[in-house]
Structure 1
């Protein structure tokens, strides 16, 4: 009987010790959070958000293009220089003269006249550009509210060289551009409206001329 009571006493003591240990562990795990710990957690969360924002900026998140460097120039004439800001660089275009031709390479115009524009491009940005990126953004039209008759068509005629090559910052190139146009009292050479609308080119530039201005 004494042995049995002793065994029961040992069992109760072991159970008490186990309960006490568990209570101590729960007490340690459920200690109240101090104000200092809350502040540290908030600071860590803020730091993480700041890193994510910085990473988004570096990876291209946010605005697709930076603001343009130039305002719209809508009333240029033959001889004037327009400044263009695009997503591939900044440059100047000077339309030095324009003349019309009835035939080129023994071929008649698809519409009504051929216009030949003597132009000069200058890279005024900080990075090299392709000449075809400069010239390819322009079209010609006789009505600003309508789609133009297209860009220059040098590539379809042996008498005209294609405009291509690398243009370094500060470098100028001269070229002749051939256009096929309808007859009209006024014509406009401008940046393609679709490129302006899509923000590929950040400002509009328009030259206005009449047939009386032509060489």
Structure 2
């Protein structure tokens, strides 16, 4: 009887041991299966968090400029130089501040400006019309700040000035699209021809224009 009881207890303990071992094997198998699934997920693109929608690249990073406003290819471009124009012609002048049209209406050569005699030989008085092509108001004095007169296209040039009663100051503002007419006065040596030019020596900041005329063409 005692022997039977011992055998029964031993069998019961063996059963418990087998059940425990089988449970551990199942848990270990489940853990390996889970690790395998996670490893496969990582190899195929990462976890759910890693597979969130990719962020959009900026225009600079992607190089795609479609749908974005690009600067005009003509922005800051200067007109071609207009040289050797004549009395009555109109030139297109543009610098890094404003844009204009300048028309040389007429030219007068005289030995006196009012009561003041020429110190160089004679006065050259050019009648011009300035049209403001800019989007902002402008002053003719600024537009004519690079306008000089010489006896040769590349020769020594002198600036204009004004004398009361002959050549008045350019002080009025010119609205966008508006025009203003007046004269530029130069005290020049006597010559058979003259060149009125603007923008010379301002390469990259302004285009160049010039009007050429002989004394036979003036009043």
- TM-score tier, shorter chain, comes to 0.5 to 0.7
- Tell me, yes or no, if structure 1 residue 153 matches structure 2 residue 158: no
- Tell me, yes or no, if structure 1 residue 210 matches structure 2 residue 204: no
Q: Which digits, 9 at most, give the CA deviation of each residue in 1:171-201, with x for residues without a partner?
A: 0111121111111111100014222x2x231
Written as runs of structure 1 = structure 2, the 5 A alignment for 1:41-80 is 47=61, 66-68=76-78, 70-80=79-89
Q: Which digits, 9 at most, give the CA deviation of each residue in 1:23-50, with x for residues without a partner?
A: xxxxxxxxxxx999xxx9xx68x65xxx
Partner of 2:119: 110
What do you get for the CA RMSD once the two structures are aligned?
3.2
Partner of 1:26: none
In 1, Cα distance between the equivalents of 2:124 and 2:87?
A: 13
TM-score (norm 2): 0.64
Match of 2:183 among 176, 186, 192: 176
Q: Are the aligned partners of 2:83 and 2:211 in contact in 1 as well (CA < 8 Å)?
A: yes
TM-fit CA distance, 1:165: 2.5
**Which structure 2 residue ranges, 5 or more long, are not aligned?**
1-44, 62-70
Match of 2:149 among 140, 146, 156: 140
**Which structure 1 residue ranges, 5 or more long, are not aligned?**
1-33, 48-57, 59-64
Partner of 1:29: none
Q: Are the aligned partners of 1:123 and 1:129 in contact in 2 as well (CA < 8 Å)?
A: yes
Which of 1 and 2 has greater Rg?
2
Matched residue count: 165
Partner of 1:200: 205
Stretches of 4+ moved more than 4 A in 1?
Answer: none
